[in-house]
């Protein structure tokens, strides 16, 4: 069973989604249905879904901003958009965020069921691929126990070839992390690898995902800029590539244990 969380601000739509579909029949464990993005992020603190079905037009944080925040926490969560906004710009941004599918309102339970069943199939294939990769790597280690190497890179580990690829990806991130539209696909294209493989490689070598590295660089730059009282907080937010100040504030507090305003006040 794969876990699903729904974000939809319209009560009747939310209740229809919960009750009109036999989720277990398509291999889904429905964790819950919440009203907005903030509730989704709070839910992620205690339990992460495999799938997120989210409306675009929600208060406090729209669906695209929510997906960006969710992907920053865990890029493996697959997201599906539910919206009555038939606009190309939203679809284009959804593609950049690697959204699994895009469903138009008014909702059709049969269509929702079809799309989510497809999502389950995608997750099953990914899980099988990860398991096969793990078995292959373990078999290689068992056959070649003396080929592990130690690199003089602090806490970094892995082969020299892997290290070089990760260094190239990290250099690209350092040069591009302030771009609002920066996505994992941009970084993987810069080194000629697939998104999934590069993310696995990056985490193996550095201990963090690419999205986490981007957030870390952005927060470090934000901390530097916040020490200058002449720069407005919204300007800091915009400079480091965030489109939503609430999302920026939450990310900053998660890294430094205080809001941007509280951090700035330390230097006044």
Which helix or strand (DSSP H or E) is residue 3 part of? strand 2-7
Could you report the per-residue pLDDT of 147-171, keeping only the tens digit for each?
Answer: 233 333 444 445 667 788 888 888 8
Beta bridge partners of 82: 55, 103
Could you report the per-residue pLDDT of 21-78, keeping only the tens digit for each?
Answer: 999 999 999 999 999 999 999 999 889 999 999 998 888 888 888 988 888 888 889 9
| 245-256 and 63-73 helices, crossing angle to 10° | 20
Q: With contact defined as beta carbons under 8 Å apart, do 20 and 46 qualify?
A: no
Set out the domains of the chain in order of their start, with CATH numbers. 2-123 (3.40.50.2300), 149-268 (1.10.10.60)
Q: Give the integer Cα–Cα distance in Å for 159 and 162.
A: 5
CA 54 and chain centroid, separation: 14
23-27, 44-48, 95-99, 176-180: segment of lowest average pLDDT: 95-99
Q: Give the integer Cα–Cα distance in Å for 31 and 14.
A: 13
Average pLDDT, stretch 238-258?
A: 90
φ, ψ for residue 51, nearest 5 deg: -130, 145
Name the residue with higher pLDDT: 5 or 163: 5
pLDDT at 232 over 70: yes
The alpha carbon torsion through 136, 142, 145, 147 (nearest 10 deg) reads -20
Report CA-CA distances (Å) from 62 to 5, 14, 58, 241. 16, 16, 5, 17
Instruction: Provide the mean pLDDT of the chain.
Output: 83
pLDDT at 1 over 60: yes
Q: Give the integer Cα–Cα distance in Å for 3 and 47.
A: 10
């Amino acid at each position: 069973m794969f876990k699903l969380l729904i974000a939809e601000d319209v009560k009747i739509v939310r209740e229809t989604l919960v009750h009109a579909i036999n989720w277990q029949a398509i291999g889904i464990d429905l964790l819950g249905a919440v009203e907005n993005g903030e509730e989704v992020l709070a839910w992620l603190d205690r339990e992460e879904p495999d799938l997120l079905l989210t409306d675009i037009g929600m208060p406090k944080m729209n669906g695209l901003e929510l997906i960006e925040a969710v992907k920053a926490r865990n890029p493996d969560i697959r997201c599906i958009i539910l919206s009555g906004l038939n606009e190309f710009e939203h679809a284009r941004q959804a593609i950049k965020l690697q959204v699994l599918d895009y469903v138009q309102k008014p909702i059709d339970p049969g269509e929702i069921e079809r799309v989510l069943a497809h999502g389950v199939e995608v997750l099953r294939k990914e899980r099988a691929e990860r398991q096969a990769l793990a078995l292959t790597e373990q078999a290689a280690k068992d056959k070649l126990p003396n080929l592990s190497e130690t690199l003089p890179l602090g806490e970094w580990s892995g082969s020299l070839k892997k290290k070089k690829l990760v260094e190239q990806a990290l250099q690209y991130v350092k040069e591009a992390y302030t771009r609002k539209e920066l996505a994992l696909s941009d970084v993987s294209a810069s080194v000629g690898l697939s998104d999934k493989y590069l993310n696995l490689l990056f985490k193996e070598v550095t201990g963090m995902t690419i999205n986490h590295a981007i957030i870390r660089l952005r927060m470090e730059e934000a901390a530097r800029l916040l020490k200058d009282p002449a720069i407005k907080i919204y300007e800091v937010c915009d400079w480091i590539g965030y489109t939503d100040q609430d999302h920026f504030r939450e990310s900053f507090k998660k890294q430094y244990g205080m809001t941007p305003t509280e951090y700035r006040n330390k230097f006044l």
